[in-house]
Chains A and B, each alone.
Chain A
């Protein structure tokens, strides 16, 4: 399948410069520089503990960085709570373990944030939610509770829940890692569809097939640093760094 690159613009969506983060004494992110343009789809990969999840969690301030700057949609992330809430409402995030709200139905999961954060009227929020649930192909589960759905369905609801906030950027944190093999495809299909619509996406994932198919850029991280980045074709065919080669041989070799 041919990728659509027409969506990428010159507008900068995320600008990270010289960003550093420590967990206690552990230097988990080191001098990260990254510029993401609107419409760009980025896949971040790397061995576990390389800091890739921490990196995207810094973008919506689930983790606080200690040095350098992160500018999302022209707003810099500081300790100012107003800025943080503003950025969070414009950046959607999907987690490895779904993190749906188990005490609310699928539909309520989707309408909650628009109603309370954006103050959308309930009727309109419900319409948007149903539209998004159609999009992830589970409108018929709207009145069930998350505990009654399969893993793949839950993850698609989680994606729909983020989309209801009409985010301009989506972050995916290993969203298929906790799924049974037969459910991975339905979630990836949803993400591919989203990518084709031109959503700005940063995906931490080990799904190299997905990376090949939709990514504009693949970033390889190790020990808290960006080691290599390239277009997917080149990245997989001609990895430059030894660490990248080793990593690729480990995950593609079996």
Chain B
């Protein structure tokens, strides 16, 4: 039999709606929960487990006591429900540690300012308020630790003068950025080391503004988690970028230093670094130096996550086609211009999931400071249990602490997803 090859379409087929089983709720269920026998069984099993867990958890949590005086009292009333009274009694401690009660407004204000200060960074629409993000670190240090307002301000004044000095140098006299930067650095250092102290003394006499001093060992609770976490996140990001660039550098010395640093830090557990910070570091420093314990911890946490950050960003850099480097070079952009305008924006965008992963990891790792007897929320949980009234209480405390951490980490994760959607330019 002969098959006819020639064919010409005479009648157009108009597009029509898909079958009812493919769209809407039924379609969604079929596609996502019951697409095969195995999936259907898994769906039923999962629903079963969720129900079993909630069946016990909801009455436990919902019926919990909030107003008893001790764990004993809770158990006497009803041993099968939660005893949240510990939170009622100790929530201030979980938030502020051993911070003096009459000064609680200071960490609270610092936290509110923190929320305001990150807005211009997270949402470019509010970038005109970026000046607040710049002054925030100084403001936060002053509010939390107290002391003279001027001893913090003078650092800002020094840095501003240094920056102005640098700018005027390259405007007027020098074309060499390196030399100008070194001169400006020396200028700032001299100012801060020799001129700032008498100046602060003078300002304190003329216009004394100061807050009662609070020592670092009094910092605790979520205040401490946020101090270590936020500083670590903010500081490790630029260091990570520089390390990633350094690792790809053509200059062997820079490359060796960066690779050595990254591999060393990644090869050592964070706990070890924290022990070094809390115990060993004092042996190496001249006797009598009081190198603040919180600062030491922040430095270690920052270095630790900077090494991870560097590797995450290096992954992003490796994901960029060589053509991007060539295109920006062929337009005459310098190395730093091309890094800043072309390479980094794309590499960072690729690395967003990894970067946020590192941030979240860092934030949760701040609980490790409880090992070197700083009183972060987890450390405080033990302190609270040491009180006879609450001896033996576990679940309620850890649920509450877990929930607080979850809120922050989930927030970061949501923001990263929002950012990824916003930066999507191929559709």
Contacts and interface: CB of A to CB of B under 8 A. Distances in A.
A23 B127 CA distance: 48
Interface stretch (B149-157, B166-174, B237-245, B340-348): B340-348
Contacts of B331: 88-89, 112-113, 117, 161-162, 165
Chain B residues touching A, majority SS: helix
A102 B425 contact: yes
Interface residues of A, number: 30
Interface in A83-98: 85-86, 88-93, 95, 97-98
B352 to A, nearest CB: 13
Given A101-B342, A103-B346, A116-B341, A89 B426 contact: no
Interface stretch (B194-202, B270-278, B320-328): B320-328
Given A116-B341, A145-B426, A89 B332 contact: yes
A90 B332 CA distance: 8
A62 B328 CA distance: 11
B330 A97 contact: no
A193 interface: no
Contact of A95 (B323, B349, B423, B426): B323
B342 to A, nearest CB: 6
Contacts of B426: 102, 145, 147-148
A9 interface: no
A205 interface: no
A88 B342 CA distance: 17
Given A97-B323, A148-B427, A62 B342 contact: no
Contacts of B423: 103
B337 interface: yes
Given A99-B324, A101-B324, A103-B423, A93 B330 contact: yes
A113 B326 contact: no
B257 interface: no
Interface string A137-175: 000000001111000000000000110010000000000
Interface residues of B, number: 22
Given A85-B334, A116-B341, A62 B326 contact: yes
B115 interface: no
B332 A113 contact: yes
Contact of B323 (A92, A99, A113, A161): A99
A55 to B, nearest CB: 15
B327 A100 contact: yes
B333 interface: yes
A244 interface: no
B280 interface: no
Contact of A113 (B333, B349, B425, B427): B333
B427 A147 contact: yes
Interface centre among B326, B328, B330, B337 (most CB of A within 10 A): B330
Nearest to B426: A147
A60 interface: yes
A81 B427 CA distance: 38
A148 to B, nearest CB: 7
Given A102-B426, A112-B341, A147-B425, A62 B329 contact: yes
Contacts of A112: 331, 341
A117 B427 CA distance: 30
Contacts of B330: 60, 62, 88, 91-93, 162
Contacts of B323: 95, 97-99
A31 B346 CA distance: 40
Given A147-B425, A148-B426, A103 B349 contact: yes
Given A102-B426, A103-B345, A103-B346, A88 B324 contact: no
Contacts of B334: 81, 85
A98 B321 CA distance: 12
Nearest to B328: A101
**8 closest pairs, A vs B, by CB?**
A89-B332, A147-B426, A99-B327, A99-B323, A113-B331, A145-B425, A93-B330, A88-B332
19 contacts: A62-B330, A81-B334, A88-B330, A93-B330, A95-B326, A95-B327, A98-B323, A101-B328, A101-B342, A103-B346, A112-B341, A113-B331, A113-B332, A116-B333, A116-B341, A117-B332, A117-B337, A162-B330, A165-B331
Interface of B: 321, 323-324, 326-334, 337, 341-342, 345-346, 349, 423, 425-427
Given A85-B334, A93-B327, 9 more contacts: A88-B329, A92-B330, A98-B323, A99-B324, A101-B346, A103-B349, A116-B333, A147-B425, A162-B330
